[in-house]
Every structure is written in C-alpha cells, then in structure tokens.
Structure 1
C-alpha cells in the first residue's frame, strides 16, 4: 500500500515575480497531489534562518536567507500517495542545468 504523505512546497520569490505559481501548482496537481493548505507569506528572517538551519555555515547560507526574505512567497502543503517522492521528481534537481527535462526546475528555473 502506498503511503499518504504531506509535504511543504515553497514557490520562491523569483517564481512569484515571474507569475509561475499557477503553473507550478498545476504540475503538482497533475501528479495526483492536492493542496491541503496554502498561504502567501513575507518570510521573517528568523523563520528563514530556522527553515534553512541545516545550511548554516555554508557559503550560500546568508544569500539564501536574504533571497527567501526578499519578497513574498507561496507556501503550500500538498498531500498524496508518496507525496515527498512525487514532489521531488516533479520539481527536479536544485540546479536547473542538472534537472531532467520536463521538471519544474529544468523548464522554469533560472540559470544563475
């Protein structure tokens, strides 16, 4: 039996500014996931630091915290069978260049 899971998805500042939230949500829904909660949020610095605590001390940490706090994001909780795996497969690798074609990051990600 496939496990029903919930997972957090953050539609980050650049995607929000480029009007991609709807496309991202649609792709996840087409994978059989459903939204069980969603909120537009201006991320407070303390929350960003807590969320990304595992990266503290790494060279990209301060830039990541600044970026996520730079403008509002969409935070959504999706639910479905093997939701964590489904989201990871749909979103793709962090680096858009390394992401498989057809994934959100390969198709919509910015090359930095």
Structure 2
C-alpha cells in the first residue's frame, strides 16, 4: 500500500485551548506517522498562498459557505463570489501573525484519514 503525506496546521485557537497534544495523539492513534513539525507565525503572504485570491476559490468557498449558512437558517443574499471574498478576508484577519503548529503526517490513506478526522472542512479537489 502506497504511503501518502499530508499537511496539517493547528491554528492559534486550538493552541490556546491546549489541544496540540490531543490532536497529535489522535493522528498517531489512527496509524499516521509524524514526519515534520514546527511552530510558525505566518505573515500575510504565507496565509494568502493558502487561501488564493482567485475566482475559482471564491466561488467554491462562497457556495459552501452560503449552503452552510442556509442550513442554519441564516439568509445571505450576497453573490457567492462576494461571500468567498468575505471568508478569505476573515481568514486573513484571523490567521496572520498568530502562531500555528505546521505538521506533515505520513501513512496509507493519510489524506482521507485527516479529512475525516477534521470534519472535511478542507477541499479534496480545489480546482
């Protein structure tokens, strides 16, 4: 079986709640191996690369956000591109200059396993 590698970032909020050890433990418990780890404080350029300033990204995130908000009873009449830009702005504001733990994990089906553990908030096929 082929090993995969996947990137996981523990964001500042989880760090402040003392969840680093629990997250690492969960990933190890499902058979993944930690192959790289470091604490970083990303600048705007680093975060902007993770959340691209591209129409396809705005559309994808805007659709997902609008659907999620509608399911919770929140009406949002904005265009999906506008919603996507709003989400990106919030992400930049929330993540820039705040510590994160950046990790690379390895194992069979590492991408699928981490998506399942994280609640699939990431995108499998961004384009």
Q: TM-score range by the shorter chain?
A: 0.7 to 0.9
Q: Distance in 2 between matches of 1:51 and 1:91?
A: 17
Report SS of the residue matched to 1:60.
helix
**Structure 2 residue runs without a partner (length 5+):** 59-80, 122-127
Alignment of 1:92-107 (within 5 A): 92-94=119-121
Aligned residues: 93
Q: Confirm or deny: 8 A CA contact 1:13 1:70 kept in the other structure.
A: no
Report SS of the residue matched to 2:31.
coil
| Residue of structure 2 in register with 1:30 after alignment | 29
User: Which has the larger share of helix?
Assistant: 2
| Residue of structure 1 in register with 2:48 after alignment | 49
| Residue of structure 2 in register with 1:72 after alignment | 99
RMSD: 1.5
Q: Distance in 2 between matches of 1:46 and 1:63?
A: 15
Q: CA deviation at 1:89?
A: 1.2
Q: CA deviation at 1:90?
A: 1.4
Specify which structure has the bigger relative contact order, considering alpha-carbon pairs within 8 angstroms and separated by 6 or more residues.
2
Query: Which structure is larger by alpha-carbon Rg, 1 or 2?
Result: 2
**Structure 1 residue runs without a partner (length 5+):** 95-112
| Residue of structure 1 in register with 2:12 after alignment | 13
Q: Confirm or deny: 8 A CA contact 2:43 2:97 kept in the other structure.
A: no
| Residue of structure 1 in register with 2:114 after alignment | 87
The two structures have a TM-score, normalised by structure 1, of: 0.77
